[in-house]
Structure 1
Amino acid sequence: MNVRLCSKVACSHPAIATLTYDYADSMAVLGPLSLVAEPHSYDLCTKHAERLSVPLGWQVVRHVSLAS
């Protein structure tokens, strides 16, 4: 199985979430790791997903998976 790594520079931890931006609505969306890597999204490890910050005035939408 291919493990995707965190997109942050110098981070080698496995990714657990995918971050996308909606610039028109000033929104960042963080959800479960996408099934495939997308060129306009960012895969984040646990640490970087928890520490996510966005520009002033932006909204963060966090989707969580209820499946275990």
Structure 2
Amino acid sequence: MNGRPCSKVACSQQATATLTYDYADSMAVLGPLSYASEPHSYDLCDRHADRMSVPQGWQVVRHVVMGSDLL
């Protein structure tokens, strides 16, 4: 496998997106895969990025790259 694996347990797919949380603002930010792995972020495959959910009252911000099919 080239690249980083999905952070979800038992998932063997390649990561395509990075998820970070801003607890102070009750916000989850999902964007393209970051250049480097960060200890406080989660790398997700397409399936897990599409199915991501957040607690009630939280906001989700999805960043997309123009011309990309991701997210």
Would you say 1:6 and 2:6 are equivalent positions? yes
- The alignment-based identity, stated in percent, is 76
Q: Which runs of 5+ in 1 are unaligned?
A: none
State the Cα RMSD in Å. 1.4
Distance in 2, Cα, partners of 1:59 & 1:8:
21
Q: Which runs of 5+ in 2 are unaligned?
A: none
| TM-score, normalisation: structure 2 | 0.91
Deviation at 1:2, TM superposition (A): 4.2
SS of the equivalent of 2:24 reads helix
Deviation at 1:3, TM superposition (A): 1.1
| TM-score, normalisation: structure 1 | 0.94
Structure 1 counterpart of 2:46: 46
Structure 2 counterpart of 1:18: 18
Q: Which runs of 4+ in 1 moved over 2 A?
A: none
